[in-house]
A and B are shown apart, each in its own frame.
Chain A
């Protein structure tokens, strides 16, 4: 035993044995107390897939991009880059490969308060070549500027550590490690030299997440929530308390806050496939343990499921969600603080008056099922009508009525009262009056209100913003559509309803879609206003503002769709944000 120890020590001393090679992943080097672990699997491949993608070629063809290439700052930057490449004797993409072909990991360890970035290089030779050139370059640069040597070399167990102003770095084998705390640095060197049995890699939850990371993931991350939950930070304690104290936040994220109260960790991954990029978050979640308080979000026993999103031609935005708003309204006493509840009580009283004495929470919200949808679409305008100077997309709330026969009459009457009220208020403020209209379509009917232009203002393209609105309520069987514009109401009410897809395990709670070409057109409709706002807000000249808005509108043409979804299954809550590029 003693002989073998002596032999091992001797081999280590002469560097003949390099235990560092035993560490395949950064997690094997990191301490078990690691809080955050984020890994980019292969940065050079990621960079290549972006730069070699046909979309990058398209981006380069855009006029604003071409203009950018002519800017002196760009040319100066490119000159500097070529200089560095000449010094390195390789292209910058080769340098990225040399440094990080095995991945880059960023980690934070709260025990030492240390951040570390761990690069696993292509091989020891190439890694050292790049690093030594960079050191040489930095030293020459400092010398030329009359500054001191930027690095002080320290040694720990025979490993040279280059100490700079705010941290240091070292290379060992094919690892390049940078960090800001020497304590963590020492632990990492110890792990490189000796290996470590109690590494972060042995964390079972981390292992589980790692095993489930998709092959298409470009990057992924693991965040241990327990230390954050224990931290004496007011904001963190608020986050993990499960309370939002904000009705809008509760409606949007109440369920996520609930899940955060008990989740041990959160994982994230960034995936690229085909024309799309998706960012996924996942938290452990048990549907059976959803408390009554959050049933408005997840449904009883977590079984609530959003309706399939209604599709209409040229839809700009769509959101479908399971939210029992009536239940949330009635449970507000338990969900929010006193101040918010006072405000809600006041709103409840006002809304009850507004809705002809009906109880807002019970008689208005309570007659609708929890499947709610919001749909928006760009509007088109007829030239024989006033065209508003600012063109706002139409938007609509789509809901299902529990008892259509009774509710239809109630809502129709309330809608009439609303329009009458708006007309009285509008008359007092010199706003256009609404004229009621009634129409039928196959399977339903609607009541609409059209703004009446003043005499002499029947046409024109500078009409008031009011002319974006023709409030409409449509009824089609159990479906209720309340829309800001008649066209959208008609479009939704007469559209073919999607058939619901049932899934035994995964339940779609919220789904949101944004159609980029329609967004581009909606912004294009308001180009002159965007330019004007850019001039006033950014102090730009007209030419600069036109260029900046032009870039935005051109860039949008590259995108097809953005979507966000929140779903649950038997063990997890998933949030996915995706962007799809144009074909």
Chain B
């Protein structure tokens, strides 16, 4: 049983101080891993200052925003939703606002909507932008916006909702998946809430309220009665006591550890703060990332890297770049491709990321990335970058990779094996380094975050 008071109290570094290894843990969870330079910058600040900067600043320059916007414009011009994952992966790789992207990815899995069904790239992109805008902001506002979101309503077959036949899909997901979780509502609540959403339609990719199809009669939801519309129905759901526990519980599992599921007692301080803070997401994430629990043995190395964390983290750590269309296609083999969650529940995550098939696919993806001529580091050869970072001997290279990439220590004999691969492998130094890095990325320790 974890003491909530200890768990959420601000983390204070021990006698060893605030290390690159701990900063790497923070960036793996709050983003998609950090480069050596980012770690140096992080340890020059206090842990809470780094977290505060991650949560509160919007460091992307206008020039970068323009670059991202130009890329998106090009993708949308093709009208092909299958091109969107490469765009977002570019952003994962290059943004200096990683927490916002990581949290946007969280909300994408939470409000799961798939391009497979929506097919309209512009609608998927608009939803993505909306999630990013609210990612660290007001949860209530986000739920209200998602309720009008064309991509979401199309995905849940709710583009038409007539009073004669209320569509229960969206109402069910608002309760079960978006706000409350299973067992916190009755089938009657769903039926009544679905009546609130009648007349909500999507026409030509835009939300429209058809007043003639709205059921303006009295509804009874969660013990409250009134002639509620959709917005009021959403508010009633958000006001339920289980709502803050459901949301902060998912955030804790995402940022701290998938298992074991956090108890209500552990979540209570966060849930109270969430309600008292008007459902602001940023302060909750800030508290999680600054906590003792986050840097404790209950968290470090206690998550399995998702395919996106695995692939993007691999490159981002070593300032890597590659063919992003091929990369995203490889990520789909691993079981996760942004904009294409498998179902309304999003990705299951946790241990489900790993099985014999995806483990092999992980090894193959790294191999193919390392074999591609487009894959560069900083941008150049891996050998030159290792030299640049001062890792000039095989042992130093392995130490550096361990520090940058791993949440848990490697046994010395494994480190020696990898160093030997660099020393006595086949081909020139670059080939040896790439082969050794491939071996390193297939280690069980590498799969943990």
Q: Flag whether B363 is at the interface (Cβ < 8 A).
A: no
Q: Flag whether B325 is at the interface (Cβ < 8 A).
A: yes
List of B residues within 8 angstroms of A536 by Cβ: 71, 86-87, 90, 323-325
- In the bound assembly, the distance between CA atoms of A529 and B70 in angstroms comes to 8
Interface string of B306-350 (1 = CB under 8 A from A): 000000000000000111110000000000000000000000000
Q: Which of B147-162 contact A (CB under 8 A)?
A: none
Q: Flag whether A535 is at the interface (Cβ < 8 A).
A: yes
Q: Flag whether B67 is at the interface (Cβ < 8 A).
A: yes
Given contacts A462-B77, A465-B78, A532-B70, contact A541 B90 (CB under 8 A): no
Q: Flag whether B65 is at the interface (Cβ < 8 A).
A: no
Q: Which of B332-378 contact A (CB under 8 A)?
A: 374-376
Q: How far is the CB of A145 from chain B (nearest CB, A)?
A: 13
Do the beta carbons of B324 and A529 come within 8 Å of each other? no
Do the beta carbons of B71 and A539 come within 8 Å of each other? no
Whose C-beta in chain B lies nearest to the C-beta of A529?
A: B74
Q: Flag whether B57 is at the interface (Cβ < 8 A).
A: no
Do the beta carbons of B324 and A539 come within 8 Å of each other? yes
Q: Choose from A388, A535, A544 the contact partner of B71 (Cβ within 8 Å).
A: A535
Do the beta carbons of B90 and A465 come within 8 Å of each other? no
List of B residues within 8 angstroms of A529 by Cβ: 74, 77
Q: Flag whether A52 is at the interface (Cβ < 8 A).
A: no
Q: Choose from A454, A462, A537, A542 the contact partner of B324 (Cβ within 8 Å).
A: A537
Do the beta carbons of B204 and A539 come within 8 Å of each other? no
Q: Which of B378-415 contact A (CB under 8 A)?
A: 379
Whose C-beta in chain B lies nearest to the C-beta of A390?
A: B77
Interface string of A377-416 (1 = CB under 8 A from B): 0000000000011100000000000000000000000000
Q: How far is the CB of B155 from chain A (nearest CB, A)?
A: 15
Do the beta carbons of A464 and B79 come within 8 Å of each other? yes
Do the beta carbons of A430 and B70 come within 8 Å of each other? no
Whose C-beta in chain A lies nearest to the C-beta of B122?
A: A464
Do the beta carbons of B379 and A541 come within 8 Å of each other? yes
Interface of chain A: mostly helix, strand, loop or mixed: helix
List of A residues within 8 angstroms of B79 by Cβ: 464-465
- In the bound assembly, the distance between CA atoms of A540 and B94 in angstroms comes to 11
Q: Flag whether B99 is at the interface (Cβ < 8 A).
A: no
- In the bound assembly, the distance between CA atoms of A483 and B154 in angstroms comes to 36
Do the beta carbons of A528 and B70 come within 8 Å of each other? yes
Do the beta carbons of A539 and B78 come within 8 Å of each other? no
Q: Flag whether B75 is at the interface (Cβ < 8 A).
A: yes
List of A residues within 8 angstroms of B379 by Cβ: 539, 541, 544
List of B residues within 8 angstroms of A462 by Cβ: 73, 76-77
List of B residues within 8 angstroms of A544 by Cβ: 379
How many of B's residues come within 8 Å of A, CB to CB? 25
Q: How far is the CB of B436 from chain A (nearest CB, A)?
A: 22
- In the bound assembly, the distance between CA atoms of A430 and B205 in angstroms comes to 8
Q: Flag whether B120 is at the interface (Cβ < 8 A).
A: yes
Q: How far is the CB of A278 from chain B (nearest CB, A)?
A: 32
Q: Choose from B76, B86, B321 the contact partner of A389 (Cβ within 8 Å).
A: B76
Do the beta carbons of B376 and A532 come within 8 Å of each other? no
List of B residues within 8 angstroms of A542 by Cβ: 67
Q: Choose from B70, B76, B323 the contact partner of A538 (Cβ within 8 Å).
A: B323
Q: Which of A503-541 contact B (CB under 8 A)?
A: 528-529, 531-533, 535-541
Do the beta carbons of B74 and A532 come within 8 Å of each other? yes
- In the bound assembly, the distance between CA atoms of A544 and B323 in angstroms comes to 14
Q: How far is the CB of A67 from chain B (nearest CB, A)?
A: 16
- In the bound assembly, the distance between CA atoms of A506 and B67 in angstroms comes to 55
Most A-side CB within 10 Å, residue of B74, B90, B120 = B74
List of B residues within 8 angstroms of A430 by Cβ: 120, 204-205
- In the bound assembly, the distance between CA atoms of A533 and B324 in angstroms comes to 10
Q: Choose from B73, B74, B205, B376 the contact partner of A539 (Cβ within 8 Å).
A: B376
Given contacts A535-B71, A539-B374, contact A388 B77 (CB under 8 A): yes
Q: Which of A335-389 contact B (CB under 8 A)?
A: 388-389
Do the beta carbons of A535 and B77 come within 8 Å of each other? no
Known: A430-B120, A532-B71. 9 other contacts (CB 8 A): A430-B204, A529-B74, A531-B70, A532-B73, A536-B325, A538-B323, A539-B322, A541-B321, A544-B379
5 nearest CB pairs, A to B: A389-B77, A532-B74, A539-B321, A539-B322, A390-B77
What residues make up the interface of B, taking CB atoms closer than 8 Å to A?
Answer: 67, 70-71, 73-79, 86-87, 90, 120, 204-205, 321-325, 374-376, 379
A-B contact pairs, 19 of them (CB 8 A): A389-B76, A390-B77, A462-B73, A462-B77, A528-B70, A528-B74, A529-B74, A531-B70, A532-B71, A532-B73, A532-B75, A536-B71, A537-B323, A537-B324, A538-B323, A539-B322, A539-B323, A541-B321, A542-B67
